[in-house]
Amino acid sequence: MKSVNLAEKLSHFSTHWDPHVVADYNENEVMVVKFMGEYPFHKHDTTDDFFYVLEGEMQMDIEGEQSRTIKAGELFVVPKGVVHRPRAETEVKVLLIEPKGEPNSGDSDREAAPKTRI
C-alpha cells in the first residue's frame, strides 16, 4: 500500500507494446506502457479497454469510423467488442487498465503474454 510514481516506473523499460503492471484495482491490472508505431486491429469481446495518455500523443483507429487523437491529459475508453488499433507516430506513454489475464490482442485463443510487474 504505497504511492506509485508512473514516470519512475516508465523509466525502468524502453520496449514498446510491453505493458508493465504497477498496481491492482479489484480484478484489474493497472499498467504503464509505451507505444510507438501501430498495433494490429483487434477487439476485446468481454471488456472495455481504458487508456489515459501521460505523455505524448496517440491515435486510436476505430473500424469504420474516423480515427481519434488522444493527447497527454486525455483518457479514452474503447467499449467491449469495438475493433480498434492504437497507433503513435512518436513514442507515447500511457496508463492502461484491463482485467487480469486479458491478452492485449483480445485473442483469447492465444495465451496472454505474462506481464512484468514493476
Residues lying near a second copy in the complex (CB under 8 A) are found at: 1-7, 22-26, 30, 47-48, 50, 52, 54, 60, 62, 65, 68-71, 73-80, 82, 95, 97, 99
Rounded to the nearest whole angstrom, what is the least distance from the CB of residue 26 to a second copy in the complex?
5
Alpha-carbon distance of 97 to 66, in angstroms, equals: 24
Contact indicator for 6, 54 with CB cutoff of 8 Å: yes
Contact 35, 88 (CB under 8 A): yes
Minimum gap (Å) between residue 57 Cβ and a second copy: 10
> Which of residues 77 and 113 has its CB atom nearest to a second copy in the complex?
77
- All three cell numbers of 34, joined, read 509505451
- Beta carbon nearer to a second copy, 22 or 88: 22
In whole angstroms, give the CA distance from residue 13 to residue 10.
6
Shortest Cβ distance from residue 16 to a second copy (Å)?
21
Between the alpha carbon of residue 52 and those of residues 6, 14, 86, 107, 108, the distances in Å are 12, 19, 12, 22, 24
Nearer to a second copy, 14 or 26 (CB): 26
Q: How far is the CB of 110 from a second copy (least distance, A)?
A: 22
Instruction: State which residue, 75 or 113, has the beta carbon closest to a second copy.
Output: 75
